[in-house]
Chain A
Amino acid sequence: MKNYSGKPLVILKHLSLLLGASIMVLPFIWMLSTSLKPPHEVLSWPPQLIPNTVTIQNYVTVFATAPFARFFVNSVLMASLSTVAILITSSVAGYVFAKFNFPLKSFLFILTLSTAMVPLEVYMIPLYMSMVKMGWVNKFIGLIAPYLIMSYGIFFMRQNIMASIPDELLDAARIDGASEWRIFLSVVFPMLGGPIGAISIFAFQQTWAAFIWPLIITSSRELWTMELGLGMFQYRFTVDLGPINAGSMLSIIPVLIMFLLMRKKIIQGITLTGMKG
Chain B
Amino acid sequence: MKRISTESSPGRKKLSETEFKKRVFAYTAILPVILIFGFVRIVPIFQNFLYSFFQSTIGNPLQQFIGFTNFKDLFADDLFVLSLRNTTYFAVFVTLFSVAFAVLLAALLSTRSKASALYETIYFLPVITPMVPVAVVWKWIYDPTYGLLNYVLSWVGIEPIGWLVFPNTAMVAIIIMSVWKIVGYNMIIFLVGMRDIPESYIEAARIDGASTMQVFWRIIMPLLRPIMLFVLVISTINSYNVFTQVFIMTSGPQGAPGNAVRTIVFDIYENAFRYFRTGYAAAEAVVLFLIILALTLLQFGISGNKERRDKRRLLRKGGLV
Query: Residues of A at under 8 Å CB distance from B?
Result: 13, 16-17, 20-21, 23-28, 30-31, 34, 43, 45-47, 89, 92-93, 95-97, 100-102, 108, 111-112, 115, 117-119, 121-130, 132, 145-146, 148-149, 154, 174, 179-181, 184, 205, 208-209, 211-212, 215-216, 226-228, 230-231, 234-236, 241, 244-245, 247-249, 251-252, 255-256, 259-260, 263, 266-267, 270-271, 274-276
Q: Which residues of B contact A276 (CB under 8 A)?
A: 238
Which residue on chain A has the smallest CB distance to residue B129?
A252
In the complex, what's the smallest C-beta–C-beta distance from B203 to chain A, in angstroms? 14
In the complex, what's the smallest C-beta–C-beta distance from B13 to chain A, in angstroms? 13
The answer to whether B189 touches A216 (Cβ under 8 A) is: no
The answer to whether B40 touches A129 (Cβ under 8 A) is: no
Interface centre among A211, A234, A274, by most chain B C-beta atoms within 10 angstroms, is A234
The answer to whether A47 touches B151 (Cβ under 8 A) is: yes
Q: Which residues of B contact A252 (CB under 8 A)?
A: 129-130, 133
Query: Residues of B at under 8 Å CB distance from A?
Result: 18, 21-27, 29-30, 32-34, 36-37, 39-45, 47-48, 51, 59, 61, 101, 105, 108-109, 119-134, 136-141, 146-148, 151, 180, 184-185, 188-189, 192, 234, 237-238, 241, 243-244, 247-248, 251-255, 265, 268-269, 272-273, 278, 281-282, 285-286, 288-289, 292-293, 296
Q: Which residues of A contact B137 (CB under 8 A)?
A: 27-28, 30-31, 34, 245, 248
The answer to whether B18 touches A174 (Cβ under 8 A) is: yes
Which residue on chain B has the smallest CB distance to residue A205?
B128
Q: Which residues of A contact B125 (CB under 8 A)?
A: 24-25, 28, 256, 259
**Of A27, A95, A127, which is within 8 A of B141 by CB?**
A27
The answer to whether A212 touches B244 (Cβ under 8 A) is: yes
Tell me if A's interface is mostly helix, strand, loop or mixed: helix
The answer to whether B292 touches A117 (Cβ under 8 A) is: yes
Known: A23-B180, A248-B133, A259-B128. A13 touches B108 (CB 8 A): yes
In the complex, what's the smallest C-beta–C-beta distance from B112 to chain A, in angstroms? 13
The answer to whether B130 touches A208 (Cβ under 8 A) is: yes
Which residue on chain A has the smallest CB distance to residue B26?
A100
In the complex, what's the smallest C-beta–C-beta distance from A89 to chain B, in angstroms? 5
Known: A27-B138, A234-B139, A271-B189. A115 touches B42 (CB 8 A): yes
Which residue on chain B has the smallest CB distance to residue A230?
B132
Bound Cα distance A234, B130 (Å): 15
The answer to whether B41 touches A126 (Cβ under 8 A) is: no
Ordered by A's residue number, 12 sampled pairs between the chains whose C-beta atoms are within 8 Å are A24-B180, A27-B141, A96-B25, A97-B30, A118-B292, A121-B265, A123-B41, A124-B268, A125-B278, A205-B128, A236-B251, A271-B188
Bound Cα distance A110, B128 (Å): 28
Bound Cα distance A224, B36 (Å): 24
In the complex, what's the smallest C-beta–C-beta distance from A185 to chain B, in angstroms? 11
Q: Which residues of A contact B184 (CB under 8 A)?
A: 24
Bound Cα distance A149, B252 (Å): 35
Bound Cα distance A228, B293 (Å): 29
The answer to whether A123 touches B131 (Cβ under 8 A) is: no
The answer to whether A121 touches B243 (Cβ under 8 A) is: yes
**Of B109, B273, B285, B296, which is within 8 A of A117 by CB?**
B296
Known: A13-B108, A235-B253, A235-B255. A47 touches B148 (CB 8 A): yes
In the complex, what's the smallest C-beta–C-beta distance from B150 to chain A, in angstroms? 9
Bound Cα distance A249, B61 (Å): 41
The answer to whether B130 touches A119 (Cβ under 8 A) is: no
Q: Which residues of A contact B251 (CB under 8 A)?
A: 231, 234-236
The answer to whether A148 touches B36 (Cβ under 8 A) is: yes
The count of A-to-B residue pairs whose CB atoms sit within 8 angstroms is 254
Which residue on chain B has the smallest CB distance to residue A272?
B192
**Of B40, B120, B278, which is within 8 A of A149 by CB?**
B40
Which residue on chain B has the smallest CB distance to residue A227?
B132
The answer to whether B22 touches A100 (Cβ under 8 A) is: yes
Q: Which residues of B contact A251 (CB under 8 A)?
A: 130, 132-133
Known: A180-B25, A211-B131, A230-B132. A121 touches B288 (CB 8 A): yes
In the complex, what's the smallest C-beta–C-beta distance from A134 to chain B, in angstroms? 9
Counting from the closest, the 7 A-B pairs by CB-CB distance are: A235-B252, A180-B25, A248-B133, A126-B47, A209-B130, A123-B44, A100-B26
Which residue on chain B has the smallest CB distance to residue A5?
B212
Q: Which residues of B contact A241 (CB under 8 A)?
A: 140
Q: Which residues of A contact B21 (CB under 8 A)?
A: 179-180
In the complex, what's the smallest C-beta–C-beta distance from A133 to chain B, in angstroms? 10
Interface centre among B29, B40, B109, by most chain A C-beta atoms within 10 angstroms, is B40
Bound Cα distance A34, B140 (Å): 10
The answer to whether A119 touches B255 (Cβ under 8 A) is: no
**Of B29, B51, B101, which is within 8 A of A125 by CB?**
B51
The answer to whether B247 touches A231 (Cβ under 8 A) is: yes
The answer to whether B141 touches A30 (Cβ under 8 A) is: yes
The answer to whether A130 touches B39 (Cβ under 8 A) is: yes
The answer to whether B131 touches A209 (Cβ under 8 A) is: yes
Q: Which residues of A contact B132 (CB under 8 A)?
A: 209, 211, 226-228, 230-231, 248, 251
Q: Which residues of B contact A31 (CB under 8 A)?
A: 133, 137
The answer to whether A227 touches B252 (Cβ under 8 A) is: no
The answer to whether B51 touches A244 (Cβ under 8 A) is: no
Which residue on chain B has the smallest CB distance to residue A206?
B130
Q: Which residues of A contact B45 (CB under 8 A)?
A: 115, 118, 122-123, 126
Q: Which residues of B contact A132 (CB under 8 A)?
A: 59
